[in-house]
Structures are given as structure tokens and as C-alpha cells.
Amino acid sequence: MTNETQHDKPKSLPDAKLPRGFADRDALDVAATERMLAKIRETYVLYGFDVLETPFIEFTEALGKFLPDLDRPNEGVFSFKDDDDQWLSLRYDLTAPLARHVAENFDKLPKPFRSMRSGWVFRNEKPGPGRFRQFMQCDADIVGAGSVAADAEMAMLMADTLEAVGIARGDYQIKVNNRKVLDGVMEAIGLAGDDNAGRRLTVLRAIDKLDKFPADEIRKLLGPGRKDESGDFTKGAGLDAEAIERVIQFTGWGDQGAGAQSPVGNVALTLANFRSAVAGSERGEQGCQELATMAGLFEAAGYDNSRIVIDPSVVRGLEYYTGPVFEAELTFAVKGDDGRPVRFGSVAGGGRYDGLVSRFRGEPVPATGFSIGVSRLLAALRLLGKIDDQAATAPVVVLVMDRDQIAHYQKLVTLLRQDGLRAELYLGDSGMKAQMKYADRRGARCVVIQGSDERERGEVLIKDLVLGATLSSAPDREAYLKAQAEAQFAVSETAMLDGVRKVLARGA
């Protein structure tokens, strides 16, 4: 091999691919997301919330150990050191940065402080189907209000937001519970204290499966364990029979026979079951009273059980929430890969987290809020046919027929833009056929053409690409000639704007 050949050998090129758990977004997805977020923000504004934007990066210490829905706090965060040898992390959610912002600006902010935020968050976790390392959330929070009236507003806002984006009543349900009630149940069955943290988690996970399994299967998860149809075994919480029945009674299924409907929806019955299950626990009884107060607020505001229900199955992060918790669940059925109907499930959730801001200030600072999973909600709206997947109006493309006249073509493009029309000049080096193909790929409705003959006459040709594509299907010669005259016609340069608008109006 000669030196020249060695010199000409191409070097190794990097692979053009994304890391797992990340995705590019095209114009259709971005446009649909922005339209949906605009409707969400409009609803938040009606409730008095102000926009806040926080950076993607925070000091790792500011994130703390209160990361929701994790068995191992502080796992799952992308972290690195800066030039000052301090640990920084990509934000895990939008709530921890809010807590830092409130603590940093505590004396300047009005309390209660109503904040809405949307943006990307990052999880350093193993990606999988529907599970990404980067995804978007949209949050609303009230900081500085200890009353459960603030929690009730959160639940009502969740309902109004879903309806604002196109989810009809009957296709969703806001489910409300209270961590104090759950803690009271744990105390009542002897699972209080740090030593029982693991068993408490197992019990709560069993309760969380109420919408998937019948009561007898939940009993197995609360007791020795459960083997599923595939033979996989899930270890149970190891509760005795009395404790199991107390938990089942709390869920409302204690006196229900085989095939019975869920008792959820009967507020009086649900609260009675709760009070029975937490009897003797001061914290549990306080949680029951808070839920009763919230139920009264829902009723007074006109939010009936078709929109907001008190539901024992709502279980959220163990070390994060301190009071009322809520989830927005979509109840309409869609077909799964096997053709069977399945529910879409939760698209938003949140609750009271009085300990997060307090980390920075060393004093109690009440807070409540919720977060919408933007991609998941958008996917649900697509299934319902509520998303019009249209990007911005495709541009009018001005073709370049004579390279030495590009300044004049640029003038034509500028006239179109000044009239408020999206337009672009072809900037490649190809001939007319390739330029027409380019315009078609851009989704252009029409192109503007000017060769030397048209320029001498002070005219341009306007070609309707959509109408032109239908010429071959004309039923006869007369229809063909008529369509051809409409598909491509000449106008003076001064009439170009009217001609282009005439073609675009056909598409509208």
C-alpha cells in the first residue's frame, strides 16, 4: 500500500444514532404539543397561576432525597461536576426546582404562590417501551397554603384542564385519597415505624392494583403472595388474616360479593370504610376529616362523582407526599396489541408535599400541586381523534429558473413574507424538475415560477400542485382544460399576492 493510498483511506465515522431513551421530534409533534400546552396554560391562568421557568440544571443537593416514586432516593439522576468541583444534576422533575426558587425568593413572593411550569425533565433510568430518559411535564402548584381547599382546587383544576384539551366528561376521572389515611391504616395493622418500610410499600402496591385484580387476588398480595397465569410469583406482605381484612375493608370491598361493582363513588360509604379502617389512629382520622372537607368543596363547586371521586386505590410516593394525593385517570377503552380493550390509565398526578420547601428553610412551608405527563396526554388525545396533526401552513416555494436573477427572486419571496405568507426561495442547485419535487416534499400547495419570458412581460406563473396532481383523473378533455387553467395561470407581478392567496384558499 502506497503512502498516497494510506493518506486517502477514510477515517472511521461516528454512528448517526440517538442514545436509548431519547427521541427527535418532528414539526407535526412539536406543533401538536404546543397547541395542547396553550390550552393547558389558558386553564391554569383562569385559576390565577403565573408562569415560572427554571433552568434544566440544579445543584444536586437541591434535589434532595424527595424524588417521587422511587424505592431508592437519589437514584435515576444525571449528574456531573462543574469547574468548581460541585455536583450538578439535570432536573428530575419540575417540583424540586420550584422548591428551590421559592426558598431563594421567599421574602419577595406573594404567599400563597401560584406557579405553573412546563418543560423537559430527565431520568437516568433504563429505558423501555413508553419509558424515556427525557420527557416533558406541565405542572401547577400552590406554595404557602396549608388548607385542604388548595388541594381541592388542584383536583378541580385537573378536571377542567382535561376538558379544556378535549377529554369529555365520562372519559376521565380525578381520583383523590390522603396519605394520612394510608398511614393510619398502616398504624392500625402494626406496620408503623422505619422497620416496616418495606412491608408498607408491599401493602400499598397491593392496594394500587385494585383496578386490576379482584379482592381475593389483593388478599393474596397482602398475605403469602400471588402466582400469576404465567407462573411468576409475587411475594406478599405477610399480613395475618385480621390485618388483611382491615385493609380490604378500607378499600371498600369487604362486604362485596363476587362480581360486585366497585363501591367507589359513594362518598359517605367510602369515608365510613376509611374511618373504620383507621380507628385509633389520630393521623388517619385527621386524613378522613380532610377528605370529608374536600368532598364538601367539590359538591359546592359542582364537581360530582362523574368528575372527582375519593378512591382508596390512589397510592403515590412514600417519602414525598404528606396529605391529599390525586391522579387523573382516563377511563375510555382502547384496543391493545392483542385486540382486547384496555384502559389508557393515568396522565397526571400529584398531592400535598409539605416537606420539600422546608428542606431549605428549616420551617414548615405547605405546598400542593400536580404534574401532567405531556406526551402521554397527547397520545391519548390522538386516540380520541382530538389532535389535528397539522404543522404550520406549508410554505409557498419560489423557484429559481435563472441563477443570475436570484436577487429578483429574493424580492418576490420578500413580497410574499411581507404580506404574511410563509414563503421560501429555493436555495439548491438543481433544475426545475428537482425543484418541483422539492416543493412537493415540503408539502407546498403552490409554487411561483418566473422564467425569462415571464420576467420580460412582468408576470409570474402560479402553479397549484394539489390541483395539478388531479389532472390525469379528469373525466373528459373539457374538464381537463378547465382544471389545467386553474392549476397553472399567469398574473402580473403586482397581482402575485392575490393569485397565491386564491390558490391557498382552495386548501383552506
pLDDT digits (tens, 9 = 90+) for 192-242: 888 888 888 888 888 888 777 888 888 999 989 888 888 888 898 888 888
d(CA 318, CA 189): 17
Torsion angle defined by CA atoms of residues 392, 398, 399 and 404, in that order, rounded to the nearest 10 degrees = -140
> Binning pLDDT at 50, 70 and 90, where does residue 451 land?
very high
Tell whether the model's pLDDT for residue 67 goes beyond 50: no
Q: What is the pLDDT of residues 232-281, one digit of tens each?
A: 888 988 888 888 888 888 887 654 433 344 556 789 888 998 998 898 89
What integer best gives the mean pLDDT of the chain? 87
Alpha helix positions (H), 76-196: 95-104, 148-165, 179-188
Among all chains, which residue has been given the C-alpha cell 407535526?
28
d(CA 118, CA 368): 16
Contact between 171 and 330 (Cβ < 8 Å): yes
Long-range contacts of 128-134 (CB under 8 A, 24+ apart): 130/376, 131/21, 132/21, 132/22, 132/23, 132/375, 133/19, 133/20, 133/21, 133/22, 134/21, 134/22, 134/23
Which range is least confidently modeled, 142-156, 442-456, 461-475? Answer: 461-475
| Joined grid coordinates for residue 110 | 406573594
Which range is least confidently modeled, 176-190, 246-260, 311-325? Answer: 246-260
> Binning pLDDT at 50, 70 and 90, where does residue 16 land?
very high
Task: Go through the domains of the chain in sequence order and give each one's CATH number.
Answer: 19-146+354-392 (3.30.930.10), 173-319 (3.30.930.10), 396-507 (3.40.50.800)
Helix or strand or coil: residue 181?
Answer: helix
Q: Which residues contact 300 (CB under 8 A, 6 or more apart)?
A: none
Tell whether the model's pLDDT for residue 188 goes beyond 90: no
d(CA 236, CA 304): 36
Tell whether the model's pLDDT for residue 34 goes beyond 60: yes
> Binning pLDDT at 50, 70 and 90, where does residue 415 land?
very high
Distance of CA 294 to the CA centre of its chain: 26
H helix or E strand, kind and range, residue 460: strand 459-464
> Binning pLDDT at 50, 70 and 90, where does residue 389 land?
low
Which range is least confidently modeled, 54-68, 226-240, 358-372? Answer: 54-68
Question: Which pTM does this prediction carry?
Answer: 0.83
Of the candidates 392, 385, 355, 410, the one whose C-alpha atom is nearest the C-alpha of residue 166 is 385
> Binning pLDDT at 50, 70 and 90, where does residue 489 land?
very high
DSSP 193: S
User: Would you say the C-alpha torsion 493, 494, 499, 504 has a positive or negative sign?
Assistant: positive
Q: What is the pLDDT of residue 74?
A: 54
Distance of CA 194 to the CA centre of its chain: 34
Q: What is the pLDDT of residues 114-141, one digit of tens each?
A: 999 999 999 988 887 778 999 999 999 9
Q: What is the pLDDT of residue 257?
A: 39
Amino acid at 57: I
Q: What is the pLDDT of residue 477?
A: 80
